[in-house]
Amino acid sequence: MAGQDRVKLAIAGLGTVGAGTIALIEAQGDLLADRAGRGVAVTAVSARDRSRDRGVDLSPFAWWDDPVAMAREADCDVVVELIGGSDGVAKAVCEAAIGAGRHVVTANKALIAHHGAALARAAEAGGVSLGFEAAVAGGIPIIKAIREGLAGNRIERVHGILNGTCNYILTEMRETGRPFAEVLEEAQKLGYAEADPSFDVDGVDAAHKLAILASLAFGTEVDFTSVHIEGIRRIAPLDIDFADELGFKIKLLGIAEKTAEGISQRVHPTMVPVDAPIAAVEGVTNAVETVGDFVGATVLQGAGAGAGPTASAVIADVLDVAAGRRAPVFGVPADRLSAPAPLPMARHEGAYYVRLRVIDRPGVIADVTAVLRDHKVSMESIIQRGRDPEEPVDVVMTTHDTSEAAMQHVLAGIDGLDAVVEPPTVIRIDRS
Active-site positions? Answer: 209
- 108 phi, psi to nearest 5 deg: -95, 95
Distance, CA of 430 to chain centre: 18
Rounded CA-CA distance 273/250 in Å is 9
Helix (H, G, I), strand (E, B) or coil at 217: helix
Closest CA to 248 of 174, 141, 346, 156: 174
Rounded CA-CA distance 384/395 in Å is 5
Distance, CA of 239 to chain centre: 23
Do 279 and 249 contact (CB within 8 A), yes or no? yes
Report the greatest alpha carbon distance in the chain: 84
Rounded CA-CA distance 194/15 in Å is 14
Residue type, 376: K
Q: Which residues 6+ apart lie within 8 Å of 154 measured at CB?
A: 292, 293
Do 265 and 211 contact (CB within 8 A), yes or no? yes
Rounded CA-CA distance 3/173 in Å is 56
Closest CA to 246 of 369, 393, 429: 429
CA atoms within 13 A on the CB side of 169: 32
Cα→Cα distances 266→97, 176, 284, 345, 407, Å: 33, 28, 21, 8, 16
